[in-house]
Structure 1
Amino acid sequence: MNRRAFVSGLIALPALVRSARAEVSGIKLGKQYGLPFLPQMVMEDRRLIEAHAARLGVSGLAVVWQTMGGPGALNDGLLSGNIQFVNVASPSLATLWDKTSGTPSEVRAVCAVQSMPYVLTTRNPAVKTIADFTSADRIAVPTVKISGQAMALQMAAAKLWGFEKYDRLDEFTVSMGHPDAMQAVVSGQTVNSHFSVAPFNYYELRVAGIHKVLSSYETDGKHTNGLQVTTRAFHDANPKICQAVRAAHEEANAFIKSDPKAAAEIYLKLVNDKKNSADDLVTMITDPDIDYTTTPANLMKHAEFMHKVGRLRRLPASWKDLFFAEAHDLGGT
């Protein structure tokens, strides 16, 4: 090697080192309660992100999981940089994308997590449909007005009474995490209704006097319940980690479908669930309405509703606007 080539190599070396070290050494992911987050629990227990990151050349990635009570806390954690990935419903993704588009903090999805209905239950025997709710009722949702359940209630109201009455039931809603809401409904507290997700609706419907009022699928068809999202700044600086996260989701979903009992046992272990057996959870996981898939469904229907009520300044041209480019092969709606 001549002197010029040697010196050129020395000059290039720091850039090569920086490139090799470009991706972060640790990430934190936020999740919530219930079976919508089963893929993340499988990923956590089986260390799937770590394995896929190592396969892609990011060795020793430290992965921390944090359970939070509602979408507001997840959104704040993501935008503050305290959390790198969060699993949110379509209203949260659309809102975050709308507020951050064109900035380094622009929020988009890496992949969907699953499709699953929200189920509204009540212990009020007089309530057969949403038209029967009165000021005497209180409906728990994760976060009033902004959670997926809150929007599903608005969409159902608009379908029943006309669009101009979409918020007719908002005054009866209260913000409450799923475990606390379930406890309130079954124990006779002021909150007598709960727009929930599995497994909480299954728990509630086992209790005498509690019945189903509505499934969100009845209003707008099958829809995505959760999406794994991050910021553009993190995504662009850490493409291999983002690739590993999506690959981990794909593997987790395949694991859930091929061995639902093993997935159920992971859930029971991580949430310390004493109410169910693994067989109970297998019945829920294999419910035809529940689909663990990375392909998004009906995002545009939700975005169009949000734009119409003024919650979005801009309407995405398609679901792809809400996803990073490498996810455009998912074939969603």
Structure 2
Amino acid sequence: MRFASLIATTAIAAALSLSTSAHAEGQIRIAQQFGIGYLILDVVQDQKLIEKYGKQQGIDIKVEWNSISGATAMNEALLAGALDVVSAGVPPMLTLWDRTRGRQNVKAIASLGSMPNYLLSNNPKVRTLQDLSDKDRIAVPAAGVGYQSRTLQIETARVFGKADYKRFDNISVSLPHPDATVALISGGSEINTHFSSPPFQYQALENKNVHKVLSSYDILGGPATFNVLYTTQKFHDDNPKTYKAFYNALVEAAQFIRANKAKAADTFIRVQKSKLSPEFVRKIVEDPEIDFTVSPQRSYVYADKLHDIGVLKNRAASWKDYFFEEAYAQPGS
């Protein structure tokens, strides 16, 4: 079952009250956000790969798919027990890892791929971070705490100093990528800047009034993991067969995408009911900057920098500190 809905913070409590108890082995509730950054999950869902690997272990796995916008809603749902696996950028996962150590012990399961996120603007005066003013408004999925905001904070700390890393939080607005893209392209609203992600950033850049200010790859020093999947220690330990089936499904889906990029693009359109043209989506999937892999890349840059500016209390020794051990079979950083 798939719910294409945006869950506002004020409505989360009601939604979570429907189901707060942990599921037994053989059931998994997964939530993803919007965009091509979740293509691995689209393939897993479309090909019923979790069910496939479950049957290989002698269990029938019931899979529930949910769509939620924003890391805040994801994290609250996971901690409330309404979801088993959630997805968001590396920073929101690290925040939960940091805050739940010794309790729920939230850790990452796998990467969903490395892809750049672009800071875009339709304000011709905004060419660098120094050009942003109180008159500008930056759209991000989760203001102050999400992947885009944390990435911006790291760069802001580098440019303006660690004490001023929240400099742009007060002009950031929480808005799902699809809505922010429409606002940026149409103009005329308070939103004139958007820290975007694929495919939305490419869609926006087709408009002559929109330009790129900065790439996350510039900030992180090269290709880096965008989204990750994560869960609690309890779900990991109590559901070994389900967890193994899920991880194996992710690995197969990543392999399928690399070997069948055109078919993978069609899967994205079908599963996410996208109105984008197949040619446009295939161009994104084939972009050499994008790598659909379960192996984390440069995730430790976030762990190191976010600890340095005080967002994380605990310092990770390596990426393995905040990933479950199944991921160790893959290379990582």
Say which SS state the counterpart of residue 295 (structure 1) adopts: coil
Say which SS state the counterpart of residue 148 (structure 2) adopts: helix
Are 2:130 and 1:131 equivalent residues in the alignment? yes
Retained in 2: the 8 A contact 1:204–1:210?
A: yes
- How far apart are the structure 1 equivalents of 2:41 and 2:259? 16
Say which SS state the counterpart of residue 167 (structure 2) adopts: coil
Aligned match of 2:273: 272
Question: More displaced, 205-214 or 322-331?
Answer: 322-331
Which runs of structure 2 are paired with 1:115-126 in the superposition (5 Å)?
115-126=114-125
Output the amino acid matched with 1:116.
Answer: M
Aligned match of 1:55: 56
Are 2:177 and 1:178 equivalent residues in the alignment? yes
* Pairwise CA distance, 1:88: 1.9
Say which SS state the counterpart of residue 312 (structure 2) adopts: coil
- How far apart are the structure 2 equivalents of 1:23 and 1:251? 25
Which runs of structure 2 are paired with 1:86-97 in the superposition (5 Å)?
86-97=86-97
- How far apart are the structure 1 equivalents of 2:165 and 2:79? 29
Aligned match of 1:165: 164
Say which SS state the counterpart of residue 114 (structure 1) adopts: coil
Aligned match of 2:194: 194
Retained in 2: the 8 A contact 1:159–1:219?
A: no
Q: How many residues align?
A: 309
Which runs of structure 2 are paired with 1:201-216 in the superposition (5 Å)?
201-216=201-216
Say which SS state the counterpart of residue 250 (structure 1) adopts: helix
Aligned match of 2:34: 33
TM-score norm. by structure 2 comes to 0.90
Output the amino acid matched with 1:299.
Answer: S
Are 2:296 and 1:290 equivalent residues in the alignment? no
- How far apart are the structure 2 equivalents of 1:108 and 1:257? 26
Retained in 1: the 8 A contact 2:44–2:249?
A: yes
Output the amino acid matched with 2:64.
Answer: V
Retained in 1: the 8 A contact 2:295–2:327?
A: no
Say which SS state the counterpart of residue 228 (structure 1) adopts: strand
Output the amino acid matched with 2:282.
Answer: V
Retained in 1: the 8 A contact 2:251–2:294?
A: yes
Aligned match of 2:240: 239
Output the amino acid matched with 1:140.
Answer: A
Aligned match of 2:299: 299
Output the amino acid matched with 2:127.
Answer: K
Say which SS state the counterpart of residue 256 (structure 2) adopts: helix
Aligned match of 2:6: none
Aligned match of 1:102: 102
Say which SS state the counterpart of residue 115 (structure 1) adopts: coil
- How far apart are the structure 1 equivalents of 2:270 and 2:323? 32
- How far apart are the structure 1 equivalents of 2:182 and 2:114? 25
Larger Rg: 1
Matched residues, percent identical?
37
* Pairwise CA distance, 1:23: 5.1
Aligned match of 1:155: 154
Retained in 1: the 8 A contact 2:139–2:191?
A: yes
* Pairwise CA distance, 1:24: 2.2
Output the amino acid matched with 1:144.
Answer: A
Residues 135-183 of structure 1 show CA distances to partners (whole Å, capped at 9, x for unaligned) of 1110101111111100111122222223333222222211111111111
- How far apart are the structure 2 equivalents of 1:141 and 1:318? 28
* Pairwise CA distance, 1:329: 2.5
Retained in 2: the 8 A contact 1:23–1:241?
A: no
Output the amino acid matched with 1:86.
Answer: V
Residues 72-107 of structure 1 show CA distances to partners (whole Å, capped at 9, x for unaligned) of 11111111111111112111111111111122x211
Retained in 2: the 8 A contact 1:110–1:242?
A: no
Residues 29-86 of structure 1 show CA distances to partners (whole Å, capped at 9, x for unaligned) of 000000110110111111011111111222x211111000111111111111111111
TM-score norm. by structure 1 comes to 0.90
- How far apart are the structure 2 equivalents of 1:123 and 1:131? 16
Aligned match of 1:17: none
Say which SS state the counterpart of residue 134 (structure 2) adopts: coil
- What CA RMSD, in Å, does the superposition of the two structures yield over aligned residues? 1.4
Retained in 2: the 8 A contact 1:113–1:227?
A: yes
- How far apart are the structure 2 equivalents of 1:306 and 1:277? 38
Any unmatched runs of 5+ in structure 2? Answer: 1-22
